[in-house]
């Protein structure tokens, strides 16, 4: 007897094609979602949905990333 799992029956071309088409549809949907962007309500620049805008640092109407503060810190580090 075989010591590893062996398919009981040969998978038909139809079965394989059906599996591939289902997989491809999901994969295309996933790729489409990865590249999807929405306009930032503050600066109108494209950003990923449900994420902080990396240009103005706003998310849902408030500052999440303060770029001005970050720049100050960088300048201080460079001086020291």
Length of the chain: 80
Compare residues 23 and 67 and give the one whose CB is closer to Zn ion. Answer: 67
Least CB distance from residue 72 to Zn ion, whole Å? 20
Contact set with Zn ion (CB under 5 A): 40, 42-43, 53, 55-56
d(CA 21, CA 29): 12
Compare residues 21 and 51 and give the one whose CB is closer to Zn ion. Answer: 51
Least CB distance from residue 69 to Zn ion, whole Å? 17
φ, ψ dihedrals at 16, nearest 5°: -65, -45
Compare residues 28 and 54 and give the one whose CB is closer to Zn ion. Answer: 54
CB 57 within 8 A of CB 65: yes
Least CB distance from residue 30 to Zn ion, whole Å? 26
d(CA 11, CA 18): 11
């Amino acid at each position: 007897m075989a010591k590893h799992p062996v398919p009981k029956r040969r998978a038909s071309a139809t079965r394989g094609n059906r599996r591939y088409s289902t997989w491809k549809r999901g994969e295309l949907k996933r790729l489409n979602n990865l590249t999807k962007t929405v306009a930032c309500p503050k600066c109108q620049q494209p950003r990923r949905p449900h994420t902080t805008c990396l240009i103005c640092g706003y998310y849902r109407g408030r500052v999440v990333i303060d770029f001005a503060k970050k720049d100050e810190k960088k300048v201080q580090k460079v001086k020291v």
